[in-house]
Amino acid sequence: MFHPSTIDLHIHTNVSDGTDTPEELFAKVKEAGFTLFSVTDHDAIKGCLMIRDLRREGIPSFLSGAEFSCKDENGMYHILGYGYDLDAEPIHALVRTSHQLRMKKVMARLDFLKSEFGFVFSEEDLQHLLAQDNPGKPHIANLMVQYGYAETKEQAIKEYINRIRFPNEFLRPEQAIQAILASGGIPVLAHPSYGDGDQLILGEEMDKRIRHLLEFGLQGLEGFYSGFSKKLSQEILSFAARYDLYVTAGSDYHGTNKLITLGSTGFDPSEPWPDGLCRFLEEVSEKRICTNER
């Protein structure tokens, strides 16, 4: 079984909003001495398909992954999918649907920035933006900084891009969970305490969210995460134990787009391994490790 200190199950490449290509990421993971890793690009599996083809010698072990942005009447969720069959139609259909929603939001954001603030970009830059595998808010924000419309990417998103809202242009969590399950994968709630990244969810509210997602088949919680304090991690681990859920560990590495290093999952090797993490690693080590076989 894999040691938790040598794994990272939440990593992004430039297929979504990271800066490393899958090839560059794979080289870094090997150099770092990881035994198990997963690429979890937003609403995409192209990076996983590329990594599968790179792993000729089978080391380090690779677990297919993805991170889907979801929303329903109860709020926003990021749902991670692990160990699914990379050739399964349900996961491919989910990616197609999420990509269509993403592109619709990109176009609406560009129109909003032009109409509300007069922010315009060259046709060449727009074509480059739209040619990205999964363009989103960070890509638009970087372009705004380049044009001098904002001083930082964070300012661009907070003060301008986030002013347009999309109440219905999201996957629902049950769509993501059910497609992951139908593809043989394990659905996990990403960074539960932070929701969609800008929240702080604790106690009874967290319990309600988890129980809601359990109705659709949620199987795990990201209990170790680069942005968690020890107290936040302990709360998530207690919920995982209460509901007999798997536990995962991930950094949320984005290359130079975030100040997060590979492998910084927050796992303390001096602490006992949570049962949910042990069971997850046992499960994936036996059944779900990707090979380059088709």
The whole model's pTM is what? 0.90
pLDDT of residue 294: 40
Q: Is position 52 within any domain?
A: yes
Q: Is position 134 within any domain?
A: no
Instruction: Identify the CATH number of the domain in which residue 41 sits.
Output: 3.20.20.140
**Domain with 270 in it:** 4-95+169-287
**Other C-beta atoms lying within 10 Å of the C-beta of residue 6:** 16
**Other C-beta atoms lying within 10 Å of the C-beta of residue 248:** 32
Token readout for 98 is 């999420």
CA–CA separation, 250 and 267 (whole Å): 9
Q: Is position 185 within any domain?
A: yes
pLDDT greater than 50 at residue 292: no
Q: Is position 183 within any domain?
A: yes
pLDDT greater than 60 at residue 293: no
Q: How many domains does the chain have?
A: 1
Residue 129 CB burial class (10 angstroms; 0-12, 13-18, ≥19): middle
Q: Is position 41 within any domain?
A: yes
Phi-psi domain of 98 (left: phi exceeds 0; alpha: psi -120 through 50; beta: other): alpha
> How many distinct helices (H) and strands (E) make up the chain?
10, 8
In sequence order, the β-bridge partners of residue 246 are 220
CA–CA separation, 127 and 187 (whole Å): 34
pLDDT band at 291 (very low <50, low <70, confident <90, very high): low
**Other C-beta atoms lying within 10 Å of the C-beta of residue 95:** 19
CA–CA separation, 96 and 99 (whole Å): 5
Q: What is the mean pLDDT of residues 8-25?
A: 95
Within 8 A by CB and 6+ apart from 224, the residues are: 4, 233, 247, 248, 249, 250, 265, 266, 267, 277
- The pLDDT tens digits for 120-164 are 999 999 999 998 888 888 899 999 999 999 999 999 999 999 999
CA–CA separation, 70 and 127 (whole Å): 27
pLDDT band at 169 (very low <50, low <70, confident <90, very high): confident
Within 8 A by CB and 6+ apart from 122, the residues are: none
Q: Is position 67 within any domain?
A: yes
Whether residue 133 contacts residue 46, with contact meaning beta carbons closer than 8 Å, is answered with: yes
CA–CA separation, 69 and 98 (whole Å): 8
- The pLDDT tens digits for 264-290 are 999 998 889 999 999 999 999 877 776
CA–CA separation, 259 and 251 (whole Å): 11
CA–CA separation, 40 and 48 (whole Å): 8
Higher pLDDT, 195 or 137: 137
Q: Is position 31 within any domain?
A: yes
DSSP 83: S
Q: Is position 269 within any domain?
A: yes
pLDDT greater than 70 at residue 230: yes
- The pLDDT tens digits for 238-264 are 999 999 999 999 999 999 988 899 999
Taking Cα atoms as reference points, which of 145, 143, 146, 105 lies closest to residue 127? Answer: 143
Whether residue 91 contacts residue 85, with contact meaning beta carbons closer than 8 Å, is answered with: yes
